[in-house]
Every structure is written in C-alpha cells, then in structure tokens.
Structure 1
C-alpha cells in the first residue's frame, strides 16, 4: 500500500526518544547536559517531552509503586538529569510504596546518597519494607511525612530452592541482607541494630507521630509551604 509505514528498525524508538529530549532541552540546558541525557539511552521513552520537562523543573521524583529494578533505573536517570541541570538545587522524593525488591531498595538508597544534590524525602501514604530504606537516604533533618502516612519495618524475606548447598548459601545471604537493612535503620534513626532487629521480628507498624518519635522523620507537615525549601 502506498501509505504503509516503513519497516521499523531495531532500536529506532530509543533513538527517537533521545532526539526528542535533545529538541526540548537544548534551549534551556547546556550542551553537556544534553549529552548526559542522551547517554541515558531509552529512559525518555517513559515520559513525553512535556512530562519530562516538568519533572526536571519540579525536581520532584514520585515513588508510588512497588520497588523494582525498572523504577531504580528511572530514578537513577532522573537524578542524573537533575544533577546535570543544577547540582546545588534540592531534589524532593515522595514515597507511597509497600516496598519490594530489597537489593533494589538498597541501590536506590545509595544512588540518592551519591548525588551532589541535597535530597529530601516525604512520605505521603504508605512507606514499608524497602521503602523505609529509600526514605532514610535523606539526612534526618530532610525527612518528612504527611499526617495520615503509615510506616512498616520488617525483616527481608524470600524463598530458596535448589540443592541443600544452594539453599544454605541463600540463607546466609539473606542474613547479610537483613543485617544491612537493620544497620541502616539503626544508624539513620539513632538506635542499636539489635534493638531494631527485635522490633522487626514481626511487622512493626508506626503512624506519623510514632515515626517521628522513632527517628524515621524529622517532622510532620500539612502543606508544601511547610518544607524548609521551595522548589
């Protein structure tokens, strides 16, 4: 047919996505910023031009799903973009998540602590399991909660299959992961790791006021203007 589309080439969507970012960004970003964004590959396919532009300008990253590797990649790329635009401007990460992949949560934690930008975290719903670690990526005076939020700390869990040796190795690895998780909570909230472990033998639920008392957040806020900065 005369008006049929040409054959699609492998990788063409990725190239189009990067090109779209270049078009919208060159007017406001420096050349190095555009190159940095282009190196991020297919990340821009998640958003259209307008959405990506607004996200970069708002300097707000929204976590509102299970913690997974795809989310981690998206967060890493957005942090890279925002740091390239202004390494001194704050980044706000809002969290409403039941948790998810433990190692992915640790990776996001490291990413948010690695950036030069000051990171603030705000819980606006549920913050559980791996979500707790992401919350704690911000320094104590940069962690906040909305009034109705709920928090939950528990032990990492997982299944194991295979030979007896494989199961033993996986069990030991789970112990290491659990200790990493508790050590972060202890250090960032001002508790002993053993005390955190004892609390987390069963699901440990906290309301916003209790989370503040425990050291998970600095303060409970009602509106955006209560934050100690303006985006």
Structure 2
C-alpha cells in the first residue's frame, strides 16, 4: 500500500460502442523528446501515450508497469512521466498498481502529464515537476453511438469515473471536490509553479534533471500529427475503424508512416472532417 494511503479508483470497462481517445490539444503540446537526464535501476519511464498505441505499436500499458514493479521488488521506485495521456482505464490500472507498491513512489513530471497520465502522477508519495512542465486534468470522454437514451446512459456511466478522479485530485491537492470539478469541467492546464501552488505537486525538479532527445522529438512529429487528426476526427462522430482506415489509406497503408503535409495538419483535419460529414450524410 502506498505510504500516503491513496484512494483506490474502481473502474469497469465501458461497452464496446464507447472508445476513449487521446486529447488532441495535449498531443499538440507534448514534446516526446523530453526525458530524465539520469535514470536508475528502480526507475519506471512513462514517456509515451497511455495504453497500446495503434499508430506505432508502442504505448505504456498497465501490464508493462506491473512487470517493472515486480522486477523492482521491495524497493523505493521513481516514475518519470512525459505523456499526453490516452486510455483512461489503462491509466487507472497503472495508478492502482503504483498505489499498491509497498515502498515510496516518487513521481517526476519531466515534461507533460496530461489526462490519463495526470491520474498516474497522483499515485506518487511525492510528486516533483519541472518549472517548465505541465499537468492537465479534465473529465473523461467517450464517443458513444445510439439514440438519446443510449447517450443519456453513456453520460450516467461516465459520472462515477469523473467522481473518482475528482476524489483523487482533491485528496492530493487538499482542495474541495467542488473546486476540482471546476478544474475538470474547464480542462485545466497547470504549469509547474501552478501545480505546486495548488497542491497537485510537492516540489520542483532541478533544471539539470531534464534532458531532451531532439532526434526522438523530430521522428515523432509525423505520427503525432496523425494522432491529433485521429482525435479530432473522433469528435466529429466518425467511428474508429473508419477513421483509421481513412488515415491508413491517406498514408499509403503504412500505420506508422508520417502523413503528407504534416506542416498543415489543421487543413488536413478540416478536409477529413468535411469528408466524414459527407460520408455520414
């Protein structure tokens, strides 16, 4: 059990008609090349999207983190995070795994801990963040398909998940759940100083604790543009299989290839969104 006696998050899987997607704004603000300058043998690095990543075959899963914790054993652990978030349920499972670790868990927000990654960050007995780092919290969201009764049922299904997250954030920050709910409703971004001020982090990382792999950052530009397009198309109502088939066709059928004209991803999003509306009409 965590030294802080953190609350557990109980979450069951949603019906298959619902699918969580990464936040497009978080992906846009994410710098994949940010990493810890030094990592030890008891460090777990969460430097990717949360959950299996369709576009690269990577991603950080609860299975991987659980295996790392077993290998570390009964020792203090450091968790380095630089992630735009992703699968809510994988984030919850990782949070609960870290929460159950019997020794001290120190979380270091190297660059970004957004959405599901911010939930994971809350599992730390101590949370450190770079002054140039960010935390982002918001309500969980899904793409639900059906009539008004189905949509109302989806909204009711989401309520306990949002309430569980609000409990965790409020417990960490020492803020009221009403205040935290306002943060979540507004999709609130906290820079390093704000995170410490509001109680979502405990201390600042030293400037020399963070390094940047510029080669990795450049290599990720194309796939990040694809992730952003995928997330924005999801919000138009286009089903996941249709979105990904369209994007794969656009890229010549190669899942991890960079899409053309990634410098103008906004125009591509608009064009694909218009195409989706035409298809659905």
TM-score, length-scaled by structure 2:
0.55
Q: Does 1:122 align with 2:108?
A: yes
Q: Give the C-alpha shift of residue 118 in structure 1.
A: 1.5
**1:188-209 per-position Cα deviation (integer Å, ceiling 9, x unaligned):** 1111111111122222111101
Structure 2 counterpart of 1:156: 140
**1:89-146 per-position Cα deviation (integer Å, ceiling 9, x unaligned):** 211000001111112111111100111121110000011111111111012xx11012
State the alpha-carbon separation in 2 of the partners of residues 146 and 58 from structure 1. 22
Q: Does 1:67 align with 2:67?
A: no
State the alpha-carbon separation in 1 of the partners of residues 178 and 148 from structure 2. 29
Give the number of the structure whose alpha-carbon radius of gyration is greater: 1
Match of 2:117 among 126, 131, 138: 131
State the alpha-carbon separation in 2 of the partners of residues 115 and 206 from structure 1. 27
5+ unaligned residues in a row in structure 2: which ranges?
1-38, 53-59, 210-281
Structure 2 counterpart of 1:107: 93
Q: Give the C-alpha shift of residue 58 in structure 1.
A: 1.1
State the alpha-carbon separation in 1 of the partners of residues 87 and 150 from structure 2. 20
Q: Give the C-alpha shift of residue 66 in structure 1.
A: 1.1
Q: Give the C-alpha shift of residue 165 in structure 1.
A: 4.5
State the alpha-carbon separation in 2 of the partners of residues 147 and 164 from structure 1. 45
Q: Does 1:58 align with 2:41?
A: yes
**1:151-172 per-position Cα deviation (integer Å, ceiling 9, x unaligned):** 1111111111145554333221
Q: Give the C-alpha shift of residue 176 in structure 1.
A: 1.1
3-state SS, counterpart of residue 70 of structure 2: helix
5+ unaligned residues in a row in structure 1: which ranges?
1-54, 225-231
Structure 2 counterpart of 1:82: 72
**1:33-63 per-position Cα deviation (integer Å, ceiling 9, x unaligned):** xxxxxxxxxxxxxxxxxxxxxx8x6111100
Larger displacement relative to structure 2 (207-216 or 163-172)? 163-172
Higher share of residues assigned helix? 1
Q: Does 1:185 align with 2:169?
A: yes
